Structure 1
Amino acid sequence: MASVTTRLKELLAAPGIRIMPGCHDAMSARLIEEAGFEMGFMSGFAVSGARLALPDTGLISYGELVEQGRNICGAVSIPMFGDGDTGFGNALNVKRTVWGYARAGFACIMIEDQLAPKRCGHTQGKAVVSREEAAMRIRAAVDARDAGADILIMARTDARAVLGLEEAIARCRLFRELGADITFLEAPESVEEMRHYCAEVEGPKMANMIEYGKTPVLPPDQLEAIGYKIAVYPLTLLNASIRAMREALSSLKQGRMPGNILEFEELKSAVGFPQYYEEEKRYRY
């Protein structure tokens, strides 16, 4: 069977835009695959929120993210993208991060140019490193890939919010020259900005569709027409799960059974009891 990285390359080479929901744990990743999506994204925002109940402000560590990623990739067979933040240090840290994500099972890692500690791209207080340091991170990531790490490199810039759109575009062009497989210009603030980026930067590009964020949320066919190859929805499942849990807790507090609850057999199926029972039969003596 082809590696997940090879399968991801094939998906990116095929016609059409790819829709990529975000996950925060193994269960949400499995639901993405179960729903028929071809790829998924481990969001740092979502993992920080779900695992630590803390904001995406650089508080979660490399070790925590790669451990969560190992569980996520182990639960699915589809290619998964992993949020690698800033690479967690200098060039050697970046290389270690890339190798660690590859060993965890990711098909692609995202490395960004924010100043550590980083923060969610749609929140306030962002700062970016110099263009030279940003290039160093991507060069190190590409070197790790070229040395044998079976993983693609997605280079992200947050320069739009700090230094303007043209600098962000220039960085994306540089990242492609350095060998990045995919570019991601975070948080353009209009359709016109999205078009300009896609017209000026070649290669696969990702659009970040955060509900009520800074970037217009557009339907996939419009994103494809603009020039994007991937539409990521990093927080939709975390968002929906928080709302569902709050509603369930409110019902319990009022002495009512929550609505929209799975039958117990369906819940058992979702977490894998039927497959476990089949395996158990095989080794019964």
Structure 2
Amino acid sequence: MQTPADNLRALLARGDLITMPCCFDALSAKLIEQEGFGLTFMSGFATSAARIGEPDLGLMSYGEVLDQARNITDAVSIPVIGDGDTGYGNAMNVRRTVAGFAKAGCAAVMIEDQLAPKRCGHTKGKEVVGRDEAFDRIKAAVDAREAGADILILARTDARHQHGLAEAIDRAAKFAELGADILFVEAPKSVDEMRTLCAALPGAKMANIVEGGETPDLTPEELKEIGYQIAAYPLSLMAAAMKAMVETLQLMKAGKPRGDMLMDWPELRQRIGFDAYYEESERYASSKRG
């Protein structure tokens, strides 16, 4: 039986660009799978907003993040990448974080080199730790994988913001040397920078497309041509959902019809899983009443 990590390895082995909408809870992950996407990422930004109603500034605890990851992986069959932030402490904490995400059913976990508390990669105030600490985090993550955690390591650097592109490339190259499976240089500011880093770095690379953010919002075809293998969209679903909810609330407050804003009742039930539940429950006489 293939594991989530096996399924992600198989996706990467195809060599195609993987379009990856990011989720923030079990329902958003289900919708991603229902629409035929083969991979999702539990966005730290969106999850912090959805779970605790706070910005992605290191306010969620490891336990809260891991609980959300379990809910998501339980709801879908496609591989899920978890956001492990800075690893929640020193190198030994990183090892525990990686092992925990593996036990939660994640196919990969992202570990980054920001100074704790971390910040969204497209907001102000980002700082990164020194090289030695950054490399220790990735080494510890890889050691956890080698010790038996069946999970891929997505290694992220935010050094572009503070130290420039060359330093970010150097860090990512070392991450690959240490054994990271996927590389992520956050927030390149131009197509030329995207080309430069993809040409310089080995293996699978991820682009992070934040609508209105610092990285150019290129088409999947353009990202593939540049050299990326994963295109993450961390806020698309959250932003769309928030816009729809605010507009619906405004209509409700004004006493106006809301029908055009709403998914119809049969589709709502079907997507959440009522139809599947009723069909399955027919096998058990005592459950037929729901």
Q: How high is the TM-score relative to the length of structure 2? A: 0.97
- Pairwise mapping of residues 115-154 of structure 1 onto structure 2 (< 5 A)? 115-154=115-154
1:34 matched residue in structure 2: 34
The AA in structure 1 aligned to 2:253 is K
Query: d(CA) in 2 for partners of 1:15 and 1:172?
Result: 20
State the Cα distance separating 1:53 from its structure 2 match. 1.1
- Corresponding position: 1:275 with 2:276: yes
The AA in structure 1 aligned to 2:33 is E
The AA in structure 2 aligned to 1:113 is D
The AA in structure 2 aligned to 1:276 is Y
Query: d(CA) in 2 for partners of 1:132 and 1:221?
Result: 36
Query: d(CA) in 2 for partners of 1:157 and 1:202?
Result: 15
Query: d(CA) in 2 for partners of 1:52 and 1:260?
Result: 25
2:54 matched residue in structure 1: 54
1:244 matched residue in structure 2: 244
What is the CA deviation profile of residues 177-210 of structure 1, one whole-angstrom value per residue up to 9, with x for unaligned ones?
0000000000000001101100111110000000
1:94 matched residue in structure 2: 94
The AA in structure 1 aligned to 2:47 is V
State the Cα distance separating 1:15 from its structure 2 match. 2.6
The AA in structure 2 aligned to 1:233 is Y
State the Cα distance separating 1:260 from its structure 2 match. 2.8
Q: Secondary structure at the match of 1:85?
A: coil
1:263 matched residue in structure 2: 264
Query: d(CA) in 2 for partners of 1:21 and 1:79?
Result: 12
What is the CA deviation profile of residues 108-165 of structure 1, one whole-angstrom value per residue up to 9, with x for unaligned ones?
0000000000000000001100011000000000000011101000000000001111
The AA in structure 2 aligned to 1:275 is A
What is the CA deviation profile of residues 52-71 of structure 1, one whole-angstrom value per residue up to 9, with x for unaligned ones?
11111111111111100000
% same residue: 58
What is the CA deviation profile of residues 69-118 of structure 1, one whole-angstrom value per residue up to 9, with x for unaligned ones?
00001100000111110000011110110011111110000000000000
1:203 matched residue in structure 2: 203
Matched length: 285
1:79 matched residue in structure 2: 79
Structure 2 segments unaligned to the other structure (5+ residues) = none
Query: d(CA) in 2 for partners of 1:262 and 1:41?
Result: 24
Structure 1 segments unaligned to the other structure (5+ residues) = none
Query: d(CA) in 2 for partners of 1:159 and 1:263?
Result: 46
